[in-house]
Structure 1
Amino acid sequence: MTNTSLLAPYSAARIGHLPNRVVMAPMTRARAADDGTPLPVVADYYAQRASAGLIVTEGIWPSSRGQSGWRYPGLQTAAHIEGWRRVTDAVHAAGGRIYAQLMHGGRNGHPLARIDGDLPLAPSAVTPPGHAHGPDGSKPDYVAPREMTLDDIRTAIKDFADAARNAVAAGFDGVELHGANSYLIHQFLADNTNLRDDAYGRGSVADRIRFAVEVVRAVADAIGAERLGLRLSPGNPQFGMAEADPGPVYRALLDEIDGLGLAYLHLTDNDGYPALADLRPRWHGVLIGNVGENGDPTTREAGEAVLASGAADLVSYGRAFISNPDLPERFAAGAPLQEIDEAHLYTNGAEGYSDYPALERELVSAQGGAQTSTRT
């Protein structure tokens, strides 16, 4: 019988034993030095959230060729590895488990927001809407990316594999490939960002999924499939993405990778395409479900409904973990959740990042009492 409590332990051969089914979803926070090395406060932030069943970090660029925003972290250099080792050591000392999410920005970038100062690379030269996160809070409008050559594609695949090896060297328990939310892998999958007419383009579904499959296989070969997860967001319109009929593309993708023995699939649902319902039968490993994308933050009740339906084995929470470092404990206590300090989401210090307090339990009198939490 399926256990529908988010607070129940979970075990599977590939992902191991987790103390609960609450996963911390990846969220960009921009707390890196100019060279992409995570700042010391990053170790505090993730260690505070170590009670999650599993932590997935913010998106980390595998090489400077994939950097999408200023002060976004990388996993390319010895300094990056050393910086992330401080983070993984702190999380493990607090009893947690942590995966590094590798995120190549693709078209999502700007020369002013990139260490190399070059144009971003993408499947096709299609300008995204909106603006990049540049130095000193600047927000330059996105520019047309350069269409990737076949050599660029091979280099990007190698960059993912090399960064995955660096993640293992930095002490991460595993790696999640970011194939969702408008970044490079998603750009190869989507209708309006992949206009290629070669073997990685529009000729067939097999062509459209080729890049994603090759990246997954390369990283699995580099670090072992049992250390690898993949995040997908089929039909997600975020940041100007368009997928008129995502079902055939993502079914074909899962058919190609289902037998590789990955640690998990991390799948976001949305109103336009019921990804969890459609794709769950095609995935025979661990599935992490996310039902809060582009909607209201996920409640405990909504998460447990996902478990009860059988659509997922674990549920990821994003925004709730920003301001509630001890989210599982708050769920267990039935305590209210703290509000997010929106003004400091992407600043560089501890404020609005690692200064949210854990739940403070008040002594309960014979007549009953209250549990309170205050910001300090």
Structure 2
Amino acid sequence: MDIWTPARVGALELPHRLAMAPMTRDRSTPEGVPTELNVEYYRQRASMALIVTEGTQPSADGQGYLLTPGIYTEAHTVGWRKITDAVHEAGGHIIVQLMHTGRISHPSNTQHGRQSVAPSAVRPQGAMFTASGLQEMPAPRELSVAEIGEVVRQFRQAASAAMAAGFDGVEIHGASGYLVHQFLSSNANRRTDEYGGTIANRIRFAVDVVSAVADEIGADRTGLRVSPGNPYNDMAEDDTHELYLALAAALSPANLAYLHLVHTGDEELLRELRQNWPTALLLNRGGATIDERIADLEAGLADVITVGAMALANPDLPERIRRGAPLNQPDPATFYGGDHRGYIDYPTLEPVLT
């Protein structure tokens, strides 16, 4: 299929097949409220067929990093509404990614300063950047079964708030070593109850969260992001292939809007998920060129391709690709935190009217 062919993704009719992947940028207020800088950042990128926002915590316990946005207070909702209005006025679509970081956190990065929560009390290897510098991540507290139910409710409530904020849908972050992925893993999840051990038990939390969100806002506005075999944030999976095929099979009857796959090298798994997933497949092939990503579309391996740093550095990326124009190169030094530099000042092909 051609990149410029319109695509249907759940309830959304997209004008083409190039979407913006979620990227943490650490530029919200300390309370997690989006700012006018954030409004301009997303507005500039509204020509992408679909924007998936940076990871957004569904609760106070869901925060792991400094200056990340939330979607669980009225102030959060009001702040996000300015962004969704701006994107819609510019003709775009925008979905919020709900990201509970679980054990990938540090108490000093949160408003309440509490110990992080996780499937099991297993400390992750690595350090977390905080206002006072890098600090070792402490061991999390294991969630009780009752508390797991409360976390699921928080995802549901956040999804409801997202609709009130004007979003077109919700993506649940089940990748990159955060809470949903922690339940899927075989090293972070050492539970022996109904949420641990077997594959059927380890996928249960993901299924519970997705089901709650889909029930709240509609399956056709609900997506899930996964990254099979990704070791990021001290993850390990002993049974990746079987695990993700089982997860896909459990979720297939719901007819979600999409599955967002971060491809980590298993071509056989990619093809099996593509064959067995009943709705849209969004594919993020990290490190690939734009031509390589378009080739995935043309080969029928995906319905939509998502790009991160390319969209970060090129607010008008679709137009640049149409024209065969050169691309701006992203500046990693300005990826996280800071001001407008490396955020809203990347040049466009045409002068921006002010």
Q: TM-score range by the shorter chain?
A: over 0.9
CA separation in 1, counterparts of 2:216 and 2:8?
A: 24
Q: Is residue 234 from structure 1 mapped to residue 231 from structure 2 by the alignment?
A: no
Q: Give deviations 1:74-96, integer Å, cap 9, x for gaps.
A: 00100000000000011001100
**Structure having the higher Rg:** 1
2:13: which partner in 1?
17
Gaps of 5+ in 2: none
CA deviation after TM superposition for structure 1 residue 35, in Å: 0.4
Q: 1:15 to 1:288 in 2, by over 3 A?
A: farther
Query: Is the 1:7–1:332 Cα contact (8 Å) retained in structure 2?
Result: no
Query: Is the 1:24–1:318 Cα contact (8 Å) retained in structure 2?
Result: yes
Structure 1 runs of 4+ aligned residues shifted over 6 Å read: none
Q: Is residue 176 from structure 1 mapped to residue 176 from structure 2 by the alignment?
A: no
Q: Give deviations 1:199-242, integer Å, cap 9, x for gaps.
A: 0001x211111100111111111111111010011111112111
- Give the % identical residues: 47
Query: Is the 2:39–2:83 Cα contact (8 Å) retained in structure 1?
Result: yes
Q: Which amino acid aligns with 1:66?
A: G
1:366: which partner in 2?
none
Q: Secondary structure at the match of 1:47?
A: helix
1:209: which partner in 2?
203
CA separation in 2, counterparts of 1:93 and 1:104?
A: 29
Query: Is the 1:167–1:174 Cα contact (8 Å) retained in structure 2?
Result: yes
CA deviation after TM superposition for structure 1 residue 315, in Å: 0.4
Q: Which of 129, 154, 161 in structure 2 is aligned with 1:166?
A: 161
CA separation in 2, counterparts of 1:274 and 1:40?
A: 44
Over the aligned positions, Cα root-mean-square deviation in angstroms equals 1.5
Q: Is residue 249 from structure 1 mapped to residue 239 from structure 2 by the alignment?
A: no
1:94: which partner in 2?
90
Q: Secondary structure at the match of 1:281?
A: helix
CA separation in 2, counterparts of 1:275 and 1:321?
A: 27
Q: Give deviations 1:265-309, integer Å, cap 9, x for gaps.
A: 1011112564321211220101101111xxx2x322111111122
Q: Which amino acid aligns with 2:337?
A: T
Structure 2 matches for 1:283-294, cutoff 5 A?
A: 283-292=277-286
Q: Secondary structure at the match of 2:19?
A: strand
Gaps of 5+ in 1: 362-372
2:5: which partner in 1?
8
- Of the structure 1 ranges 346-355 and 210-219, higher mean CA displacement relative to structure 2 is found in 346-355
CA separation in 2, counterparts of 1:90 and 1:133?
A: 31
Q: Is residue 301 from structure 1 mapped to residue 280 from structure 2 by the alignment?
A: no
Structure 2 matches for 1:47-86, cutoff 5 A?
A: 47-86=43-82
CA deviation after TM superposition for structure 1 residue 168, in Å: 0.3
1:315: which partner in 2?
305
